[in-house]
Structure 1
Amino acid sequence: MSTSARVAILPRGVASRVITTAVSRAAWGVALAILVLTIPVLVDVLVDRGLSAMLWAPLCCLAVMILLLVASGVRPSTATRVLYLAGGSASALVYAILLLSADPTLNGEAGFILNRPAMVLVLGGVSIARPLAGLRWSLLGYLLSLAVAVVSSLVVGVPIEPGWGPTIAVVVYAGAFVALVVVNANQNKQIPDLVRLEDDTRRLAIENQFEQRAAAIVHDTVLSDLTAVMNSSGPIDARARERFRADVATLRDAAWLRESADPAAVSPHDAVLRNALEALVSDFQWRGLSVDVTGDSSTVIRITPDASAALILAVRACLDNVLKHAGTSSAELVVSTTDEAVTVMVVDHGVGFDPDAIAVDRLGLRTSVVSRITAHRGSVRIWSTPGSGTSVLISVPGAELDEVVP
């Protein structure tokens, strides 16, 4: 007999950010390769033209750009991106002025040597999570590359020829971000929100259950009593009056109505956990860590108070690690809840680490996260590599209503 397994997929917003980050990191790798490969080509061109004596100066400019690019990749943040664009633009400008001053004919005969540093300014926005932000960074880099070409030509007094390299780079790179923006917009319009559909289906099922139960109650009380009155040939006896009173009490009590509601919807602990997460996010924002919360917001969280406290403390420990060790000023919490489990993923794009290389005497993750969650029958998974950020998936089993509400 064949069995099918349910495959868990990332929420739509998280998947978009993963793809956008992958695109920006790929462009960062291309930019680094372009700078490195420019070095032997530059050496060959200048030596062939008899300009080997001035070779060291443009090579230093390339080295500075490589260092700034590596720094923005190792510690991706807004500050390192700004530093890369500012320092890279200055280095690219000095590079172009040095070459044009030494040989103005390079502007037409070897323009590819001149515009390679300016071209990589377009591709330097590493670990960008939002398509619109990536589009803005790439356009800013393109404008700076044009400024480098214009200023260097004016300083040396040669015709302005920025070359096609930066334009091609911005068309391809920014085009990828535009495509992601369009795809996301189309998905939001055409693909239904499965979480909302599930909630609507649950609501309709409750309404149908209510209608059936109400019909049964009316049949068993009102209609039954009216039938007894209509078929009575004499005065109503005391026994019948007691039954009528009991039926009226049943309708007034409305216990049958509460039984028709979704048990998870009456859980008061849902608000407690969400408020605790919001307070945690606010606390870390005051401490300098920007935390973005995504995932399911309409689904009711059903979890025991003890497991909820453990989950909050484990998430706090993860955010502490991001603040202290990740070398980044932003993180993301992805909250997901089902009938079986409540899951929180803590994601950062910091320096990362090797989980297998953690010393035995280091108790941070083991005690504050793993041991704390496994004590409540939960699980913790960690993905991290040096230079690629860290993701910690914390999952705690869901609870029955009588466990949630003492």
Structure 2
Amino acid sequence: MSATAPPLARPAPPPREVTARALVRGLATAQRVIGPVSLLLALALMVEVAVRSGDTATLGSLVLWWAPAFTAAVVLVLRPSVATALMTVAVGLVAGSGFVATMLQSYTPEQSRGLFLVEALAWALMFIGAVRPRAADGALWVIVGLVAGTAALAAGHAIAGRPLELSPDRLVDAVIMTIAYAVVAVGGRRRRDRVPELPDAALVSRRQNAARQRERAAAALVHDTVLASLTLLERTDSRLDDRVRQGIRRDLDAVAGASATSVGVVSAAAAEGSLAARMLAIVDDLRWRGLRVDLSGAEALTSSAGVSTAAAEAVLAAMTAALENVLRHAGIDRAEVTVGRTAQALTVLVVDAGRGFDVAQVPDDRLGVRESIHGRLARVGGAARVWSNATGTTVMLSVPVAAGEESS
């Protein structure tokens, strides 16, 4: 009996990606704010120059060129996108050219504070910032702004009929901002090399865990079928009667046709019949193999509502494994099975009065207790407890009961 594993939820973005994007966004936001702030500083300096020179008419002309560039910079801060970035570059190119030409024609270098005020609009163009959360995008717009600003300066000097003079400060600032984005990009790449993508790692981990569950369940199945058949052959001095042959054939068919459920449980027993009928069939099968099993409380299984298919498979297989251990190791031909049920759990007790064992000393590679009993029940949310001493062994198996679940 198989069950389809639930679809894996789409994992959240990894912390590495979130951090890198946050750094790029923070750097880009800071750049975009610097743009209009620098233009406000340029406006203050223009007012100071106009007051000292007494030329308010030129100030008005300069403001007419300055205002579109400032407006575009503010819009870019409020709504950063490729479209607004391109608009800022286009406005800056036109307004910057007229601003430079007006500044050069109206003021001497001493009056205009040298090249700083002349290059104010061109300098502000470099602070577009990344409009997409990628470091390469930020570096690209720095370069675009530098080129557009330089073109505006060249056009303004040409209109004013002045030889082109450029300050190295803009280039230095552009290099610094490009390096800042490069540091973010290199840091993210190194982190990717050191740490796997978390969604991929989580998916791989879940797949590996599911594979380990299937492997353990398959090992338990082989332990309870093929190894049980080999033990039977040993106990019957290798004489194969018809019933032994049927049992071996049934075990081989179970292994060949077994399938894994979403909780890693491998179905070995036929699913036909009620839970009580299947338990009685297991008891009868063991009886002819030499183990008398006294079953009580089977009336608790007349209704299996609330016991999921996986839980039913697990408790039957674990009970079988416990009885197989009695048959193989206890040195006794009799065991008792008691079934009980509450609103929360279905419980099966397997008790024998044979020679016990030290539970704490069971090696990890022994499948009979670790996987066939504990592992099976744990994978369906159940539990097993084993008590054993020189006077016998008690195994308590418990699986959850939940109203409304698929029943066996």
| Residue matched to 2:78 | 74
Structure 1: gaps (5+ residues): 1-7, 263-401
**Would you say the 8 A contact 1:73–1:126 is kept in 2?**
no
CA shift at 1:163, angstroms?
Answer: 1.5
- CA distance in 2 between partners of 1:26 and 1:165 (Å): 19
| Residue matched to 1:97 | 101
| Residue matched to 2:182 | 178
| Residue matched to 1:49 | 53
Check 1:257–1:34 CA distance in 2 against 1; reply closer, same or farther (3 A cut). Answer: closer
Q: 2:87 aligned to 73, 83, 87, which one?
A: 83
Query: Which residue type is aligned with residue 147 of structure 2?
Result: L
CA shift at 1:231, angstroms?
Answer: 4.2
| Residue matched to 1:214 | 218
| Secondary structure at 2:206 match in 1 | helix
- CA distance in 1 between partners of 2:81 and 2:112 (Å): 37
Query: Which residue type is aligned with residue 70 of structure 1?
Result: V
CA shift at 1:233, angstroms?
Answer: 4.1
- Taking structure 2 as the reference length, the TM-score comes to 0.57
Query: Which residue type is aligned with residue 160 of structure 2?
Result: V
Query: Which residue type is aligned with residue 244 of structure 2?
Result: A
| Secondary structure at 1:69 match in 2 | helix
Q: 1:253 aligned to 242, 253, 257, which one?
A: 257
**Would you say the 8 A contact 2:213–2:263 is kept in 1?**
no
Matched, 1:65 2:69: yes
- CA distance in 1 between partners of 2:260 and 2:196 (Å): 34
CA shift at 1:179, angstroms?
Answer: 1.5
- CA distance in 1 between partners of 2:237 and 2:77 (Å): 93
Q: CA RMSD in A?
A: 3.0
Check 1:107–1:12 CA distance in 2 against 1; reply closer, same or farther (3 A cut). Answer: farther
| Residue matched to 1:301 | none
CA shift at 1:126, angstroms?
Answer: 6.3
| Residue matched to 1:134 | 138
In terms of fraction of residues, the more helix-rich structure is: 1
Q: Which moved more, 1:50-59 or 1:157-166?
A: 157-166
| Residue matched to 1:161 | 165
**Would you say the 8 A contact 1:112–1:165 is kept in 2?**
no
- CA distance in 2 between partners of 1:111 and 1:89 (Å): 17
Which structure is larger by alpha-carbon Rg, 1 or 2? 2
- CA distance in 2 between partners of 1:62 and 1:108 (Å): 15
CA shift at 1:241, angstroms?
Answer: 2.9
- Taking structure 1 as the reference length, the TM-score comes to 0.57
Check 1:204–1:150 CA distance in 2 against 1; reply closer, same or farther (3 A cut). Answer: same
CA shift at 1:78, angstroms?
Answer: 1.6
CA shift at 1:83, angstroms?
Answer: 1.1
List aligned pairs for 1:294-373, cutoff 5 A.
none
Check 1:240–1:221 CA distance in 2 against 1; reply closer, same or farther (3 A cut). Answer: same
CA shift at 1:221, angstroms?
Answer: 1.9
Q: 1:147 aligned to 148, 151, 156, which one?
A: 151
**Would you say the 8 A contact 1:71–1:80 is kept in 2?**
yes
CA shift at 1:42, angstroms?
Answer: 1.0
Q: 2:191 aligned to 187, 192, 202, which one?
A: 187
| Residue matched to 1:388 | none
**Would you say the 8 A contact 2:27–2:129 is kept in 1?**
no
List aligned pairs for 1:220-299, cutoff 5 A.
220-233=224-237, 235-256=239-260, 260=264
| Secondary structure at 2:189 match in 1 | helix
**Would you say the 8 A contact 1:116–1:165 is kept in 2?**
no
Structure 2: gaps (5+ residues): 1-11, 267-403
- CA distance in 2 between partners of 1:160 and 1:181 (Å): 35
**Would you say the 8 A contact 1:46–1:52 is kept in 2?**
yes
| Secondary structure at 1:123 match in 2 | coil
CA shift at 1:256, angstroms?
Answer: 5.0
| Residue matched to 2:117 | 113
Check 1:257–1:48 CA distance in 2 against 1; reply closer, same or farther (3 A cut). Answer: closer
| Secondary structure at 1:241 match in 2 | helix
CA shift at 1:84, angstroms?
Answer: 1.0
**Would you say the 8 A contact 1:142–1:170 is kept in 2?**
yes
Query: Which residue type is aligned with residue 24 of structure 1?
Result: A
Query: Which residue type is aligned with residue 154 of structure 2?
Result: V
Query: Which residue type is aligned with residue 69 of structure 2?
Result: M
- CA distance in 1 between partners of 2:118 and 2:262 (Å): 75
**Would you say the 8 A contact 1:131–1:178 is kept in 2?**
yes
> C-alpha deviations, 1:145-173, integer Å up to 9, x for none?
11122222233233322223422331232
Check 1:29–1:38 CA distance in 2 against 1; reply closer, same or farther (3 A cut). Answer: same
> C-alpha deviations, 1:10-55, integer Å up to 9, x for none?
6433332232122111111111111112112111123323433321
**Would you say the 8 A contact 1:120–1:166 is kept in 2?**
no
| Residue matched to 1:391 | none
Check 1:261–1:222 CA distance in 2 against 1; reply closer, same or farther (3 A cut). Answer: closer
Check 1:69–1:234 CA distance in 2 against 1; reply closer, same or farther (3 A cut). Answer: closer
- CA distance in 2 between partners of 1:68 and 1:172 (Å): 24
Query: Which residue type is aligned with residue 231 of structure 2?
Result: T
> C-alpha deviations, 1:301-321, integer Å up to 9, x for none?
xxxxxxxxxxxxxxxxxxxxx
> C-alpha deviations, 1:178-229, integer Å up to 9, x for none?
1211112111112232333333333333333333333322222223223333
CA shift at 1:257, angstroms?
Answer: 7.0
